[in-house]
Amino acid sequence: MRLTGRDWTLFFVCVALWGSAYALVRVGLMNDAAPWQIVAGRLWAATLFLHAILFVRRRRGLEPPRTPRSRRKLLAMGLLGAALPFWLYSWAQLSAPSGLVGLYAAVTPLMVAFLAPLFARSERLDAARVFGLALGFAGVAVLMGPSAFGGERDATLAAQAAAFLGAACYAVNALAARAGADIPPLEAAAGWTFFGAVFATPFGVGETLAGAHPNAVAYLAIAALALGPTGLAAIAYFALVRSAGPVFTVQTNYLMPIWALGLGAVAFGETIGVNAIAAFALIALGLFVAQEGWRLWRPAAPPSLG
């Protein structure tokens, strides 16, 4: 599959928005918000935002009517791509090091690469792609450092299982987004957040009744999560899956930790070590190999005279 400049732009938009989510979730948790409250709040706010845009665009004739038979697909993606993995990763970090959880998240591109050929002939699995994905995973491992592997002794089996299940949810969601009904990106994003919010709401209400009461700063963080890493990122994600396929799209999981680290350095003065530079080099090389980047420099074939 030949990638375009638009595909790469959407790719890095997803990386930037999703990579910024970790800091915002951290702010919410530090200001008395519970995990399910953050999940439900960001999804409901994103739902209102996206449906408002969808309503205006349909009134102006800029968006097609609702896709027939899309509800079942969107319901599945709301559970597997939003509510469940959002919570699983947050819950896993309560008893597992963030480095270890990050490594499990980086398994998603490998899962998708091996499963995608079963769903679409265009998603071939060749040596270059496998080697490139392995390089990307190695880059994430280098970024997390030895503490990620050492932390496995301290992490509970349940936390590790939750992190792995979260990675599997994202993999299945990426394949589901490409399969079945062809839903326009804005409609898919609005439906995805709505059904995810419906799933998350009872648990968020339960945490509120149990005594979790976020302060004003937490609500601001949740609003920022809803606008960028949830609402706008969802539109970019579904557009990218449609045009470039799930295997390429989920490689954002490799670059998100790098973006999050850079954001931490700019916003909080955190230090970027040698391992981060080496990790970025490995991840960039992995993307280059997996997407056969050398094809960009091949000379164009001469025009046929016949």
User: What residue ranges do the domains of the chain occupy?
Assistant: 5-293
Positive or negative: CA dihedral 29, 90, 183, 125: positive
The set of residues, in sequence order, having a beta carbon less than 8 Å from that of 225 and lying 6+ positions away, is 21, 24, 25, 28, 38, 41, 42, 45
CA 29 from centroid of its chain's CA atoms: 20
CA 24 from centroid of its chain's CA atoms: 15
What pLDDT, on the 0 to 100 scale, is given for residue 299? 45
- Helix H segments across the chain? 5-30, 35-59, 71-78, 84-92, 98-105, 108-115, 127-144, 146-150, 157-178, 185-209, 216-225, 233-244, 246-249, 252-268, 274-290
Query: 245: alpha, beta or left, given left = phi > 0 and alpha = psi -120 to 50?
Result: left
The per-residue b/e assignment along 81-119, b for 16 or more CB within 10 angstroms, e otherwise, is bbbbbbbbbbbbbeebbbbbbbbbbbbbbbbbbebbeeb
Closest CA to 197 of 39, 25, 11: 39
CA distance 297 to 133: 21
Amino acid at 68: P
Angle at the Cα of 51 from the Cα atoms of 49 and 52, rounded to 5 degrees: 65
Contact, 234 vs 191, CB < 8 A?
no
Contact, 39 vs 87, CB < 8 A?
yes
Whose tokens are 């963030």? That residue is 98
Neighbours of 125 (CB within 10 A): 15
Contact, 289 vs 139, CB < 8 A?
no
pLDDT by residue for the chain (306 residues), tens digit each?
Answer: 578 889 999 999 998 998 888 778 878 888 999 989 999 999 999 999 999 999 999 999 999 988 888 888 999 999 999 999 988 887 887 777 665 666 677 778 888 887 877 766 666 767 877 888 888 888 877 766 665 555 555 567 788 788 889 889 988 888 888 776 689 999 999 999 999 999 999 999 999 999 999 999 999 999 999 999 999 999 999 999 989 888 888 888 878 777 876 776 676 665 666 776 777 788 778 777 876 654 544 444 444 343
Structural Rg of the chain based on CA atoms: 20
What pLDDT, on the 0 to 100 scale, is given for residue 230? 93
